[in-house]
Copies of this chain bind each other. A is one copy, B any other.
Amino acid sequence: EVTLINPFLVPEPQEQAVLDHWEQARDFLETQPGYISTTLHRSIQPNSKFHYINVAKWESTADFKTAISKMNKSLSPLSIPGVEFYPALYEVIRN
């Protein structure tokens, strides 16, 4: 199992557009083989470095990469200025 953790920065005026795009991507990805779950978090502290962090679980790195490349072919890419994503894949090492 792998975990995608994607902290991102969104200029306030763009928040709804980014959330709409996030939902489109989630609706696509949740139909893909190896998808387990996704949880989008919004900060409740005004001075946090990242206002949004998505945490998604997949059966494997390969499943995740296959799904993302299929999504990129079928959905229009997010082209909103000022949005910064820092996605990476993680393994759980302690509980």
Contact = CB atoms under 8 A, between A and B. Distances in A.
Number of copies: 2
Task: Specify the main secondary structure of chain A where it touches its partner.
Answer: strand
A89 to B, nearest CB: 5
B95 A41 contact: no
B92 A37 contact: no
Interface in A59-94: 61, 86, 88-94
Given A5-B53, A7-B7, A61-B44, A26 B94 contact: yes
Q: Which 5 interchain pairs have the tightest Cβ spacing?
A: A48-B88, A41-B90, A40-B94, A49-B86, A42-B93
Interface of A: 2-3, 5, 7, 19, 22-23, 26, 37-45, 48-50, 53, 55, 61, 86, 88-95
